[in-house]
Structure 1
Amino acid sequence: MLKITPEEQRYFEWFHHRSMTKLPGVFDSRFWSTLVLQASSKEPAVLHAVLALGAVHRREVLEVERPRGRCDVFDKQEQFMLRQYSKAISGLQPHFMAQNKESWRVTLIACLIFVFFEYLRGHYKAGGIHLQSGLRLADHCKSILKLSDDPIDKSIMEAFIRLQLQVQMFGQITEHIHSISQGSNLYCPTIKFCTLSEARQQLDCLLQRSIDLTQLYNQTAVYTGDSPSPELLKAQSHIRVQLGDWLQTLKASEMDLGVHTDTGDCFPYRFLSLYHTMAYIMVETCLDTAREFIYDRFTTNFVSIITQAVEIYKILRSTPADLFPSHSTADIGWIPPLYYTALKCRVHRIRVHAVKILGSDWHKEGIWDSKLAESVLREAIEIEEGEFYQDCRIDDNFPISEVPKAHDLTLPVLPDYYRTSDVTVVLPNDPSEKAELVCRRQRGDGNWELISRRLDATL
């Protein structure tokens, strides 16, 4: 272990005993459980990055509990945090000069910590800059230094790929993902999954392929019209079959994995099922994204997402707080499927229910912030629905634990010309700044209307 001061030791112990048990989320992560601690024991840059991350995580936890008027304590934490951040960046300079495999490993590990450090602070643009730098470096290392052949490097690459997927699901544009993900996270059919982490890796691969296919279609549709090419349709068919195979494999693995419980141990399985439902909708619509009414075909699937989320909600409410992740994790949880549901499903009760679940408990999942997501969705729903339902009897005061019934889904269908598309969020670089929602809607005369709304990122 490197020599550190008593103050640094206190923050390191916080990171080791508190942050390390919460940040990975519900899935196992070799990057967090092993690699980060090993690197921090011998690499000053990683150690100081860890101390900075531990400090911002400790600040977040204590801010919930702090008595008013204790700003002096947090000013000292801020100073410590920024000193460690500066030391970590300075500590990487020798590694930039070395230009070898070990130095690139240290740099990539530190870069990933920097990304989560900035996201946790609400500095999304700064986190995005670190992510872009890390992706470019990972791309370089993979192609030049052949890093992906080593288990350590596979853990680093997997962490970058998961982070990239998380950011893409929020509609944020990033570069270089195709080159680092190709060959590193291929879908590999199997009879049974040995672990839930293996099942998660394969589902991540299928989600990434679906997103890639959507992007490819959007690029080529400019030249070919709305009709996808035979090659794209074939690719979609392959993903559809593999997604069905994945679900059958998961079901065949249930007994061996021991997932039939109502405690925190069942969270990984339940989240996998939740994401599979979302992935199914994404795959079926990935070559028809220009027509928003296509999502009306998947009301049953959106109800399934709400039903599964309600079950998770009930378990969370009955599970001691120390048995499930804290308010901040580096990995994804239920925010993306609920966000996707509220954005794409135009059944009022379903989308309002998704927003209610998001608003039931503030937390962060990497780049995702439940408060910000809730704010985005409420504004998006208001833009779309407007006064369309003003003459309808609507009761939005239903309990979160009450799953939608058939009579809850009988409101008139929102007309296509009310619906928006290409909803994106321009993220702030400081918690005090406002995020911006940008979308477009086709007017009755065929022209497109660009809509922009400023949002409060600190709700």
Structure 2
Amino acid sequence: MSFKSLGNTSYFRQDTMYSKTGCRTCKIRKVKCDEGYPACHRCVSTGRACDGYAVWGGDLPQSMSAPCLAISTVEKQCLDWLQMRTVTKLPGSFRSEFWSRLLLQASRHEPAILHASLALSAVHKTVVDGEARMDRFVLRHYNMAISHLNGHFAANDTFSIQVILIACIAFVTLECLRGNFVAAQTHIQNGLKIIEAQKYKQDSLADDWIMEVFSRLEIQVRLLNSLSTSSPRHSFDIPRRFRSRKDAWKSLDSLTNNTLRLRSKPVGSSGQTLIARQTILRRLRRWQTVYEASAIFHGISSEVDEVAPTLLMAHHTMATIMAELCLCSDEMAFDSQNHRFAQLMDELQRLDDIGKANPDALSPGPQKGRSIMDLGYLVPLYYVAVKCRVHVIRHQALGILDSVSHQEGIWDPKTTALVSRKIVELEEQDFYHQPHERCLPASHRIGDIKVLRERDPTEKIFLIASERSVAEYDVTLYIDVIAHCYSIHISCELDIISASPYKY
């Protein structure tokens, strides 16, 4: 079995592009397909039903009701929920072919992914609808997925690696929805290790879609704590024009990840590392020029339309600050980026205003189902709060964090707000109570911080600081001091999911 290759889909396309593949209807008619989503323009314009696309295992039937693998009535209901609710909710502001195509199609043909998808769908349905928990159902399919994966680990071929990585993403999502963030991070790190060890090549669209998800997950983990990885991955050149906002997002992901990977290298940079930093900064400038010149930047007609471009610019601003300072160990250097922090905060405030006016704009769906797996504005808000030492700006970020209700992957809002506020308290202490004090001195600033959860479900969070000794901190009654670790007891302040993590 192998993946079929599809042409790239453009969502805000100004010119028509064709590929050798297309929707099932156009294939039967033997006509060119423009591969629009969710239905191609050729079918819609001629009044025909567009039967969709196929990537995995041949043509995709119109409904999940006739899977290639035998399933029960309850399992069919879970697959229908996966198709209609889960995969439309989790991608966030940017549509993801991994969710809308690859996971759905693979779950129809590959047992390991089918069982992982059933477990994920059952958990998501419980979170959204608040129905009776399906723990036995979830556990049974979780274990069956792992059992089927054993054969793929033994085979270790290209197709098996794809199956493993798709299932890994499903497991990450499931654990995030259950509040088991330690297990979710473990899955992410194991997936990244497989990618590194296999020197994973993106030879098909399926590979591209898998790597797109892992790229976002890698950013989420790196901003919590460092990963021991090799040198930055190859970053492709910025094109002359972005065909869609999603193309711009994928390009920015690559630059952000390369910056974070560069930041994890030891201080005492070699000439090659300095060149890599300059290359990233040059490409970030090029990215902004191309994005602003692209047609996708214009024509915003509603608040919902405004979310994607504002979110893009916020992440670009954050990535630029990181790139400027990724090889600098002096916390005072962040003051040189105060103008960018102010710009970033303006962009984040705009997103928050949109979210308050229209909650579905940032995270569509019912209140209990507002979790997404993509990057949103939690990460930039956290970055402003812990790295900008302008009192007004960082407290503005804290104020927004306190009001955020949706989860973004392994970043849950309550924990993020609590950690951010505790870091600010440790740094500022009573500094601003003194007259004429404006600039937080180096002696008060904390360097790079790793955020580690003790176990699932979350009861303690450890903040590991690298720059200052324990004796220098004003430790409150809410913090236990162990060497350079600070554990914040948050069990009374968070809604903790009571179930234990699954045992493999």
The bucket for the TM-score relative to the shorter chain is 0.7 to 0.9
Moved more, 237-246 or 426-435: 426-435
Deviation at 1:177, TM superposition (A): 6.5
Contact 2:311 2:376 in 1 (8 A): yes
1:262 aligns with 2:302: yes
Q: Residue 213 of structure 1 corresponds to which residue in structure 2?
A: 262
Aligned equivalents of 1:94 and 1:231: distance in 2?
Answer: 42
Higher percent of residues as helix: 1
Moved more, 95-104 or 423-432: 95-104
1:47 aligns with 2:114: yes
Deviation at 1:141, TM superposition (A): 3.9
* Structure 1: gaps of 5 or more residues: 64-72, 222-227, 393-409
Once the two structures are superposed, what CA deviation does each residue of 1:392-423 show, in whole Å capped at 9, x if it has no partner? Answer: 6xxxxxxxxxxxxxxxxx96211210111121
Aligned equivalents of 1:385 and 1:322: distance in 2?
Answer: 35
The 3-state SS of whatever aligns with 2:253 is helix
1:182 aligns with 2:233: yes
Aligned equivalents of 1:240 and 1:151: distance in 2?
Answer: 28
Aligned equivalents of 2:360 and 2:263: distance in 1?
Answer: 38
The structure 2 residue matched to 1:427, chosen from 449, 453, 459, is 453
Q: Residue 294 of structure 1 corresponds to which residue in structure 2?
A: 333
Structure-2-length-normalised TM-score: 0.76
The 3-state SS of whatever aligns with 2:484 is strand
The residue type equivalent to 2:450 in the other structure is: T
Contact 2:334 2:387 in 1 (8 A): yes
Aligned equivalents of 1:411 and 1:249: distance in 2?
Answer: 42
Aligned equivalents of 1:170 and 1:261: distance in 2?
Answer: 36
Going from structure 1 to structure 2, the CA distance change for 1:18 and 1:342 (only over 3 Å counts) comes to: same
Once the two structures are superposed, what CA deviation does each residue of 1:225-268 show, in whole Å capped at 9, x if it has no partner? Answer: xxx44433333222222111110101001x34545233222322
1:16 aligns with 2:83: yes
The residue type equivalent to 2:233 in the other structure is: Q
1:312 aligns with 2:365: no
Aligned equivalents of 2:292 and 2:318: distance in 1?
Answer: 17
The structure 1 residue matched to 2:97, chosen from 30, 34, 40, is 30
Q: Which has the higher contact order (CA 8 A, sep 6+)?
A: 1
Once the two structures are superposed, what CA deviation does each residue of 1:307-356 show, in whole Å capped at 9, x if it has no partner? Answer: 11111112122226388445211111001111110000111221111111
Q: Residue 115 of structure 1 corresponds to which residue in structure 2?
A: 172
Going from structure 1 to structure 2, the CA distance change for 1:177 and 1:312 (only over 3 Å counts) comes to: farther
Q: Residue 291 of structure 2 corresponds to which residue in structure 1?
A: 250
Going from structure 1 to structure 2, the CA distance change for 1:338 and 1:445 (only over 3 Å counts) comes to: closer
1:350 aligns with 2:393: yes
Q: How many residues align?
A: 413
1:96 aligns with 2:153: yes
Aligned equivalents of 2:463 and 2:349: distance in 1?
Answer: 27
1:151 aligns with 2:216: no
Percent of pairs with identical residues? 36
Moved more, 316-325 or 340-349: 316-325
The 3-state SS of whatever aligns with 1:453 is strand
Contact 1:375 1:455 in 2 (8 A): no
1:170 aligns with 2:224: yes
The 3-state SS of whatever aligns with 1:148 is coil
Deviation at 1:385, TM superposition (A): 1.1
* Structure 2: gaps of 5 or more residues: 1-66, 474-482, 495-504
Once the two structures are superposed, what CA deviation does each residue of 1:68-90 show, in whole Å capped at 9, x if it has no partner? Answer: xxxxx53x422222222112112
Deviation at 1:196, TM superposition (A): 1.0
Aligned equivalents of 2:310 and 2:429: distance in 1?
Answer: 35
Aligned equivalents of 2:280 and 2:406: distance in 1?
Answer: 32
- What does 1:280-429 align with in structure 2 at a 5 Å threshold? 280-288=320-328, 290-319=329-358, 321=360, 324-326=363-365, 327-391=370-434, 412-429=438-455
The residue type equivalent to 1:37 in the other structure is: L
Structure-1-length-normalised TM-score: 0.83
The structure 2 residue matched to 1:192, chosen from 236, 241, 254, is 241
Once the two structures are superposed, what CA deviation does each residue of 1:39-67 show, in whole Å capped at 9, x if it has no partner? Answer: 0111121111112112222222234xxxx
Q: Residue 106 of structure 1 corresponds to which residue in structure 2?
A: 163
Once the two structures are superposed, what CA deviation does each residue of 1:360-414 show, in whole Å capped at 9, x if it has no partner? Answer: 122211111111110101111111111222346xxxxxxxxxxxxxxxxx96211
Contact 1:355 1:377 in 2 (8 A): yes
Q: Residue 456 of structure 1 corresponds to which residue in structure 2?
A: 490
